[in-house]
Structure 1
Amino acid sequence: MNNTRLLAVVFAAASLGAVLPCSAYADDTPSPCASLKRIVAAAPDGLASWTPEDGKGVAQPYGDDAQCSASHRSFQCTWTPHGDGGSKLDALQAVAADIASCLPDATHDQNSPGRQHFYLGAKGRRTDITLTPAGANQLRLVVTGK
C-alpha cells in the first residue's frame, strides 16, 4: 500500500471515530470529579440538601460500600477501598490525587500518610476537604463549609 493510500485509510478511520460514540472498556473506572465539583459547589451553605446517594460518586472508583451523610455545613462519606487498589494508604493517596486534579483551585496544605487536607475559598466562605483513614480498613472524606 502506498503512503497516499495509507494516509487516506488512517484519515477515514479517524473521521469515523470522531462521529461514532466512544466505546467503553471493562477497565474504565468512573471519575469522582463530577461528584466532587457538585459537593464543593454546594458548600459552604447548601450541604444539608444533599442525600447520602449524592456523594457516593466520589468513592465509587475506590469502594462499593460508601456510607454518606449530610448536615447544614458538613458532608461526609466513609468506605472500604477495593482490595486490588493496594493498601488503605495507597487508596488515600489516589483519592487525594483525584481531588487535586479535579479541583485545581484547591490548596493542598497537608499531604501526609494519615491525612490529606485541601481548602477552597476565602476566609469566612471557606470549604475544607479532609481525607483520613477511618478504623482498621476504611477511608473518610469530609467536606465542611465555614
Structure 2
Amino acid sequence: MNKTRLLATALAVATLGALLPCSAAYADDAASPCASLKRIVAAAPDGLASLNPDDGKGVAQPYGDDAQCSASHRSFQCMWTPHHDVGSTEDALQAVAADIASCLPDATHDQNAPGRQHFYLGGKGRRTGITLTPAGSNRLRLVVSGQ
C-alpha cells in the first residue's frame, strides 16, 4: 500500500471515529435523578404498576446505594439509607427535595418541613403527589402516588 492510500485510510478512520457517538460506560455513571423522576411521574397517576424497582434507584443513587423500590397500581415507593457524607437524614431529605424541584419545575411544592416534603402535579382527578419523608432514624422514603 502506498503512503497516499495509507494516509487516506487513516484519515477516513479518524473522521469516522470523530463522527460516531461514543457509547462507553464508566463506573461512576449513575442514573440521573431527573430522568428517574420524570419516568416515574410520566407513569402516574394510573400506570405506576408498569414501573419496575430499578426505575426509582436513580433518585436515590446520588445519596444512597441501597434503594428498595416497589410499585402498585396507584403508588410507587422507594426507601434508602443516605450516605454519611450527605449529612443528616434531614440534609438528605432537603437535597432530594431540591432535585425534585429542579427536575420537575411544573410541580407545586406545597409542604416544605424538616420532616416532610410534598409536591404535586396536575389537577383534580389526575393529580400526582410526591412525598418525601424520613423512614425511621436513618432512612428516606419517597412515595409517588396517583390521587
1:85-100 pair list within 5 angstroms: 85-100=86-101
TM-score, structure 1 length as denominator? 0.80
Q: Who wins on radius of gyration, i.e. which is larger? A: 2
Aligned partners of 2:31 and 2:57 also within 8 Å: no
Q: Is the alpha carbon distance of 1:27 and 1:107 closer, same or farther for their aligned partners in structure 2, counting shifts above 3 Å? A: same
Provide runs of 4+ in structure 1 moved above 2 Å: 24-31
Cα 1:48–1:119, aligned 2, differ >3 Å: closer, same or farther?
Answer: same
Q: How far apart are 1:31 and its partner, in Å?
A: 3.1
Q: What is the CA RMSD across the aligned residues, in angstroms? A: 2.1
Number of the residue aligned with 2:124: 123
Matches within 5 A, 1:1-146: 31-146=32-147
Identity %: 84
Structure 2, unmatched stretches of 5+, are 1-18
> 2:69 aligns to what SS in structure 1?
strand
Q: Quick one: distance in 2 between partners of 1:87 and 1:27?
A: 24
Q: Aligned to 2:66, what secondary structure does the other structure show?
A: coil
User: Aligned residue for 2:14?
Assistant: none
Residue 25 of structure 1: how far off its partner (Å): 9.9
- How many residues are aligned here? 128
Structure 1 regions of 5+ residues with no counterpart? 1-18
Q: What letter matches 1:142 in structure 2? A: V
Alignment partner of 1:54: what SS?
helix
CA–CA distance in 2 between the matches of 1:29 and 1:91?
A: 18
Verify the 8 A CA contact 2:74 2:146 in the aligned structure 1: yes
Q: Secondary structure at the match of 1:137?
A: coil
